[in-house]
A and B are shown apart, each in its own frame.
Chain A
Amino acid sequence: MSDAVRDSMRAEFSDQTALEPFVFATAQYESGDWDSAPMLPANVIDSVARYTSLPVRPQGVSVPLSSEAVFAYPLLFLTGHLPVRFTTREADVLRKYLVRGGLLFVDDHNHDVDGAFHKTVREEIRRVAGPLVPLPNTHELYCSFFVFENGPPTTSHEMNGWGDNLVHEQLDAVLRNGRIAVLYSSKDYSSEWSFHPDNKRFLSVDNTKFAVNLVVYALTR
């Protein structure tokens, strides 16, 4: 490959990169309350902009899970309190999305292993992507940008004993070819991160840093 060709490819790649910033997408499914954490996307976008030089779109999008438009987004966020039942179309699209390399991040907004969301969504994930297994706390997800030596950061909702009154030591995941396809959290990041980003200045430690790891992992692995 000549240098001219390589340069032209690099220029083209850089142009594409410049034209396609990262867009935070929230999965919109037909059952349940998919929009229960309305402030979370802005907060994650703020953290990505604050800590990385990744091009990022200033506003997130909500994408119907039944639409093939989800294929345009490398990271899909799914949360809720109510039972989740994917439609056939949603299951098919999600299955294709995962096969094509997308990463679905599911968070239990109830923070309750006996809750309706936890039980139903794990059944749906098993149906679509396979069984969830515990993700080791030494996984590269925890050092893809910031280093979390003890695994996933604990949320205040866990510490305050809400939900199932448990502190979940690990996240669960469905791995495909050594890469996380579905990441499942019972830690209620939906509550932890759902605040206006302007209020980060009141925090001694920004609790949304782990979201940066998620985004970087989804974009680079």
Chain B
Amino acid sequence: MNDTMLLSVVAGVRRALTRLVYARATLLACSVALSAWVVLDGVRVIRGSAPFSAGRSAGFALGIGLVVLLLVASLLARRRTRDINDVRAALWIEERDAGARPASFTLVTLIEALVGLRSSAAERSAAERSAADASARAIAESPLLRASARSVLARTDVSRALRRSARNQLLGPALFMAGALTVLLVGALVRSSPIGIADTVLRVVTGDTAMATPIPPLGAWQVRIDAPAYMRRAPQQFGDVQNVAAVSGSTVELRGTGPVPEQVIERLVGDAADTLTASRRERALLPTVNGEGWQVRTVATDGPFALQLSRGGRARLLIVEGRADSIPGVALLQPARDSVFRTPEGSLALLASVRDDIGLATARFELIVSSGEGERFTARTVPMGARRFAGDRVGTIRATMDIAALKLVAGDIVHLRAIARDAHPASNREYGSSETRSFRIARAAEYDSVAVEPAPPPEVDKSLFSQRMLLMLTEKLEKQRPTLERKTLMSESVRIGRDQARLRQAVGDVVFQRLSGDVSGEHSHTVGDGHDHGVEQQQGKLALSGGNVGGVLEEGDDSPVIAINQPLLEAYNAMWDAGRELEQGDPKAAIPHMRLALAAIERARSAERLYLRGKPPTVIVDIAKVRLAGKDTGATNLRREREALPPREARRAARLVVAAQLVTSDVSVARDSLAVLRVEALGDSPAFAAAVGAVLDALGRSADATEAFVRARRVLGGVVRTDAGAWSRGVPR
């Protein structure tokens, strides 16, 4: 064996040892990764969560972890393999030489010398090389050393030693990895098995024959609702639902496949059920075999209840929301209000709308006529406008009531209402009725209407304007007086005087109209009519009579006390004076009287001003308030701790939280809990029930139910949250 072959054998061993280090590192990395996987799965299963390996990202996470571990392992292996060289390989061979104990190290010495000669040519300087080469060459060419090294190689079975070493180093990590892999595969197999391999194995091992026959847990079911016959509705079929609504009296049939459920319990839910004893709150139903499956029946009631079915170690709930058939709703549209008729004649249109949740059967108007007075009263009932419905949910009934046909007399009272029945067959079934209207025939002696007649325009205002016009005309005439002939002046002045006289007469009429209310009636009052009612005429003018200096007139015992508007009397008299001056062609002298009259009318107008809509309030604007500079205490509202929930809501909140926690571990259980919670809240807290329904919807769609949970909790606590509003100044949303 020459030097080259010797080095080749040693180099082969070195490469084998290096590969062995890498293989061991790889196996250890894989083993660690699988072991971590198993531990994580185990922890999650113990905590009740879904296994880690069941997730979609399991493979991805495993790959990432494995790559990281392999990188780490390769780095560590690389550091170890740096020390493995030909000399170490020769030493490893010499250690396996069973014929030389202790080792002679001849092979190591020879390989070291040969390696030194090979490397010195490239790495050392000439001086160093010459000195080292001489020493190495002396060692390498030693015949004894060569013979001894060859004998070492001849005695050692290198291949066998390498296999043994590989077995020793790789077997442990390989077994470790195989064990972890086995646990993972068995776990996945058990989870994916519909019948439970673990149980099967357990039953076989324990020898329990009953257990040896596996019972599958409840799977999907079918629900059929048969409404009561009077509803005339086709049966309703539902798939694998969790809750159904049914009218009271409906038959609820539940069908499934596989063996008959071990236990079926019908349990009332809700606050009312909490007050019952256990025996009255729940009862066991007997499921029957139906072909290859099973079925169980029950009848819906007015309230909600739950069917709890158990089989194969799993229980499921079906919530039946029973509700009562409500009585029809009736609204009387016409007549819209009560009334009183003067005479029992004419006709009255009747109109009512009816509706029912299931279907209407009949509807009609009903009149109750009450007659008599004192202690003698009679009443009779008159049906009218009856109509049959063929199960319609909404309808209208009309009728025309002939009042004369009712033969009413004064004082009779008619009560009118509309009633409707649905098709419910119970003999004691309630009927729906509208509110009652009543109308009455008025007695002859009563007067129960109020007539409002529009008031005439105030006379004083018209007189004011007229007097002002006359004054202006007179002033104009007086202004033109120097340029006018006497004849023209006289005619114009007389014309104005006639108008002044007419206006004075009008003012006088106002005065006397206020006394009697009628200037042309039988007992009318006019100027100079000869009556003395506190005002008397003296030389064309009016004056208060002697016993009435205060201007207050009493018109007999039954008449109200009327105050004479004294300014109007003054105006009347001033007009008299002005008219006299005008008739004499002296407008200048008439003007002061006319101004007096105008001022008097103005005073009378102010005194008599009427505010038909009420006198408007005197508004004083609060400037500080308008400018938002008013009272400011500088104190802001403090945030207060939210009040504790009432006991019932607190219990529901706790159940809601538990259900939310269950969602992450067992969705089906969480849904059952929420379904029961929802149906319990239907009666007293429909908003919360709707919010829980939204949670169930979200869970049914496998969507994120966090928002729905939060909303349900807020509804339960009465927390009102509004959307953040935009600033009113137009900040974009």
Q: Which residues of A contact B (CB under 8 A)?
A: 30-31, 33, 38-39, 41-42, 45-46, 49-50, 56, 58-59, 82-83, 85, 88, 196-197
B582-617 near A? 1/0 per residue, CB < 8 Å: 000000000000000010001000000000000011
8 smallest CB-CB distances across A and B, nearest first, come from: A42-B619, A38-B616, A49-B626, A58-B621, A49-B623, A45-B621, A59-B620, A46-B621
Q: A59 touching B621 by the CB < 8 A rule?
A: yes
Q: Which residue of B lies closest to A59 (CB)?
A: B620
Task: Tell which of B157-165, B461-469, B545-553 binds the partner.
Answer: B461-469
Q: Which residue of B lies closest to A88 (CB)?
A: B475
* Total chain B interface residues with beta-carbon distance under 8 A: 19
Nearest CB of chain B from residue A221's CB, rounded to whole Å: 24
Q: State the total of A-B contacts with C-beta under 8 angstroms.
A: 45
Q: B461 touching A82 by the CB < 8 A rule?
A: yes
Which DSSP category, helix, strand, loop or mixed, fits chain A's interface? loop
A-side contacts of B621, CB under 8 Å = 42, 45-46, 49, 58-59, 197
Q: B623 touching A39 by the CB < 8 A rule?
A: no
Question: A14 vs B639: C-alpha distance in the bound complex, in angstroms?
Answer: 45
Q: Which residue of A lies closest to B464 (CB)?
A: A31
Q: Which residue of B lies closest to A85 (CB)?
A: B468
Nearest CB of chain B from residue A214's CB, rounded to whole Å: 17
The answer to whether residues A197 and B468 also contact, given A46-B626, A50-B627 and a CB cut-off of 8 A, is no
Q: B619 touching A39 by the CB < 8 A rule?
A: yes
Question: A56 vs B620: C-alpha distance in the bound complex, in angstroms?
Answer: 12
Q: B627 touching A49 by the CB < 8 A rule?
A: yes
Q: Which residue of B lies closest to A33 (CB)?
A: B461
Question: A38 vs B611: C-alpha distance in the bound complex, in angstroms?
Answer: 12
B-side contacts of A82, CB under 8 Å = 461, 465
B-side contacts of A30, CB under 8 Å = 468, 598, 602
| Max count, chain A CB within 10 A of own CB: residue among B616, B619, B622 | B619
Nearest CB of chain A from residue B418's CB, rounded to whole Å: 40
Question: A33 vs B622: C-alpha distance in the bound complex, in angstroms?
Answer: 28
B-side contacts of A38, CB under 8 Å = 616
A-side contacts of B211, CB under 8 Å = none
A-side contacts of B461, CB under 8 Å = 33, 82
Q: B468 touching A58 by the CB < 8 A rule?
A: no
Residue pairs across A and B with Cβ atoms less than 8 A apart, 17 shown, are A30-B602, A31-B464, A31-B468, A39-B616, A39-B619, A42-B619, A46-B621, A58-B621, A58-B622, A59-B619, A82-B465, A85-B468, A85-B469, A85-B472, A88-B475, A197-B621, A197-B626
Q: A58 touching B602 by the CB < 8 A rule?
A: no
A-side contacts of B618, CB under 8 Å = 59
Question: A58 vs B622: C-alpha distance in the bound complex, in angstroms?
Answer: 7
Which DSSP category, helix, strand, loop or mixed, fits chain B's interface? helix
Q: Which residue of A lies closest to B623 (CB)?
A: A49
Nearest CB of chain B from residue A213's CB, rounded to whole Å: 18
Beyond A42-B621, A59-B618, A197-B619, 19 extra complex contacts between A and B, CB < 8 Å = A30-B468, A30-B598, A30-B602, A31-B464, A31-B465, A31-B468, A41-B619, A42-B620, A45-B621, A45-B623, A49-B621, A49-B626, A50-B627, A58-B620, A58-B622, A59-B621, A82-B465, A88-B475, A196-B619
Nearest CB of chain A from residue B469's CB, rounded to whole Å: 7
Nearest CB of chain B from residue A40's CB, rounded to whole Å: 10
Q: A50 contacts which of B469, B598, B616, B626 (Cβ < 8 Å)?
A: B626
Interface residues of B in 549-601 (CB under 8 A from A): 598
B-side contacts of A58, CB under 8 Å = 620-623
B415-453 near A? 1/0 per residue, CB < 8 Å: 000000000000000000000000000000000000000
Q: A56 contacts which of B598, B617, B619, B623 (Cβ < 8 Å)?
A: B623
Nearest CB of chain A from residue B310's CB, rounded to whole Å: 64
Q: Which residue of B lies closest to A198 (CB)?
A: B619
| Max count, chain B CB within 10 A of own CB: residue among A39, A49, A56 | A49
Nearest CB of chain A from residue B689's CB, rounded to whole Å: 39
B-side contacts of A46, CB under 8 Å = 621, 626
B-side contacts of A31, CB under 8 Å = 464-465, 468
Nearest CB of chain B from residue A155's CB, rounded to whole Å: 20
B-side contacts of A42, CB under 8 Å = 619-621
Q: Which residue of B lies closest to A83 (CB)?
A: B465
Q: Which residue of A lies closest to B622 (CB)?
A: A58
Q: Which residue of A lies closest to B618 (CB)?
A: A59
Question: A85 vs B461: C-alpha distance in the bound complex, in angstroms?
Answer: 14
A-side contacts of B468, CB under 8 Å = 30-31, 85
Q: Which residue of A lies closest to B462 (CB)?
A: A82
Nearest CB of chain A from residue B458's CB, rounded to whole Å: 11
A-side contacts of B620, CB under 8 Å = 42, 58-59
Nearest CB of chain A from residue B320's CB, rounded to whole Å: 51
Question: A82 vs B466: C-alpha distance in the bound complex, in angstroms?
Answer: 12
Nearest CB of chain A from residue B144's CB, rounded to whole Å: 118
A-side contacts of B472, CB under 8 Å = 85
A-side contacts of B465, CB under 8 Å = 31, 82-83
A-side contacts of B622, CB under 8 Å = 58
Q: Which residue of A lies closest to B602 (CB)?
A: A30
Nearest CB of chain B from residue A76's CB, rounded to whole Å: 19
B59-86 near A? 1/0 per residue, CB < 8 Å: 0000000000000000000000000000
A-side contacts of B469, CB under 8 Å = 85
Question: A105 vs B465: C-alpha distance in the bound complex, in angstroms?
Answer: 23
B-side contacts of A56, CB under 8 Å = 623
Nearest CB of chain B from residue A33's CB, rounded to whole Å: 8
Question: A196 vs B621: C-alpha distance in the bound complex, in angstroms?
Answer: 10
Nearest CB of chain B from residue A96's CB, rounded to whole Å: 20
Nearest CB of chain A from residue B14's CB, rounded to whole Å: 94
Nearest CB of chain A from residue B624's CB, rounded to whole Å: 9
| Max count, chain A CB within 10 A of own CB: residue among B461, B598, B618, B621 | B621
A-side contacts of B464, CB under 8 Å = 31
B-side contacts of A49, CB under 8 Å = 621, 623, 626-627
Question: A45 vs B461: C-alpha distance in the bound complex, in angstroms?
Answer: 30
Question: A46 vs B464: C-alpha distance in the bound complex, in angstroms?
Answer: 35
Nearest CB of chain B from residue A187's CB, rounded to whole Å: 22
Question: A105 vs B611: C-alpha distance in the bound complex, in angstroms?
Answer: 25
Nearest CB of chain B from residue A67's CB, rounded to whole Å: 15
A-side contacts of B616, CB under 8 Å = 38-39
Question: A39 vs B614: C-alpha distance in the bound complex, in angstroms?
Answer: 13
Question: A29 vs B621: C-alpha distance in the bound complex, in angstroms?
Answer: 25
A-side contacts of B602, CB under 8 Å = 30
Question: A39 vs B602: C-alpha distance in the bound complex, in angstroms?
Answer: 23
Nearest CB of chain B from residue A57's CB, rounded to whole Å: 9
B465-509 near A? 1/0 per residue, CB < 8 Å: 100110010010000000000000000000000000000000000
| Max count, chain A CB within 10 A of own CB: residue among B464, B616, B617 | B616
Nearest CB of chain B from residue A182's CB, rounded to whole Å: 22
Question: A21 vs B202: C-alpha distance in the bound complex, in angstroms?
Answer: 101
